[in-house]
Amino acid sequence: MKNIAIIGAGTMGNGIAHTFAQSGFKVQLIDISDASLERGMATITKNLDRMIAKERISEADKLETLSNITTFTSIPEGVKAADLVVEAATENIDLKLKIFKQLDEACHKNTVLATNTSSISITQIAAVTSRPDMVIGMHFMNPVPIMKLVEIIRGYTTSDSVTKIIMELSKKLGKTPTEVNDYPGFVANRILMPMLNESIETLYNGVAGVQEIDTVMKLGMAHPMGPLQLADFIGLDVCLSILNVMYDGFKNPKYAPCPLLVNMVQAGKLGVKSGEGFYDYSESRKAEKVAKQFLK
Ligand code: NAD
- Between the CA of residue 8 and those of 33, 43, 102, 150, 212, what are the distances in Å? 10, 13, 14, 18, 37
Dihedral pair phi/psi, residue 276, rounded to 5°: -155, 135
Per the annotation, the verdict on 151 as an active-site residue is yes
Taking the C-alpha atoms of residue 5 and residue 27, their distance in angstroms, rounded to an integer, is 6
HEC string for 45-97:
HHHHHHHHHCCCCCHHHHHHHHHCEEEECCHHHHCCCCCEEEECCCCCHHHHH
Same domain, 69 and 158: yes
**Helices (H), ranges, 119-235:** 122-127, 160-172, 188-204, 210-221, 227-234
Give helix 286-295 / helix 227-234 axis angle, nearest 10°.
110
Protein residue whose Cα sits closest to atom 29 of ligand 1:
88
Asked whether 13 lines ligand 1 (CB < 6 A), one says yes
- Between the CA of residue 68 and those of 20, 25, 76, 146, what are the distances in Å? 9, 7, 19, 19
Burial of residue 174 (number of CB atoms within 10 Å: 0-12, 13-18, 19+): exposed
Task: Give how many domains the chain has, as a whole number.
Answer: 2
Same domain, 164 and 274: no
* Contact by Cβ (8 Å): 161, 101: no
Same domain, 254 and 290: yes
Which of the following is catalytic: 14, 118, 197, 274? 118
Residues 6+ apart with CB under 8 A from 268: 274
Residues 6+ apart with CB under 8 A from 40: 9, 10, 13, 14, 17, 29, 31, 71
Which of 181, 200, 230 is the C-terminal boundary of a domain? 181
Same domain, 285 and 225: yes
**107: nearest Cα among 88, 143, 83:** 83
The radius of gyration of the chain from alpha carbons, rounded to an integer in Å, stands at: 19
pTM of the model: 0.91
Q: What is the CATH number of the domain that holds 273?
A: 1.10.1040.10
Dihedral pair phi/psi, residue 249, rounded to 5°: -70, -40
Query: What order of strands is seen across the sheet that includes strand 176-181?
Result: 69-72, 26-30, 3-7, 84-87, 112-115, 135-140, 149-154, 176-181
**114: nearest Cα among 122, 25, 106:** 122
Q: Other CB atoms closer than 10 Å to residue 282's CB: what's the count? A: 10
Same domain, 30 and 69: yes
Same domain, 19 and 115: yes
* Contact by Cβ (8 Å): 103, 29: no
Which of the following is catalytic: 36, 116, 170, 189? 189
Which of 121, 153, 181 is the C-terminal boundary of a domain? 181
Same domain, 155 and 280: no
Q: What is the CATH number of the domain that holds 164?
A: 3.40.50.720
Which of the following is catalytic: 87, 91, 151, 276? 151
Q: Which pLDDT value is given to residue 282?
A: 84
Q: Which pLDDT value is given to residue 273?
A: 87
60 CA distance to ligand 1 middle (Å): 29
Same domain, 125 and 233: no
Asked whether 31 lines ligand 1 (CB < 6 A), one says yes
Domain containing 249: what range?
189-294
Residues forming beta bridges with residue 140, ordered by sequence position = 150
Same domain, 156 and 205: no
Same domain, 249 and 144: no
Which of 163, 181, 199 is the C-terminal boundary of a domain? 181
Best probe residue, ligand 1, of 11, 41, 85, 175 (max atoms within 8 Å of C-beta): 11
Asked whether 103 lines ligand 1 (CB < 6 A), one says no
Averaged pLDDT in 10-residue chunks for the chain of 296 residues: 97 97 98 98 97 96 98 98 97 95 98 96 98 98 96 98 98 98 96 98 98 98 97 94 95 97 97 94 63 52
pLDDT tens per residue, range 231-271: 999 999 999 999 999 999 999 999 999 999 999 999 999 99
Same domain, 65 and 120: yes
Same domain, 132 and 219: no
Residues 6+ apart with CB under 8 A from 56: none
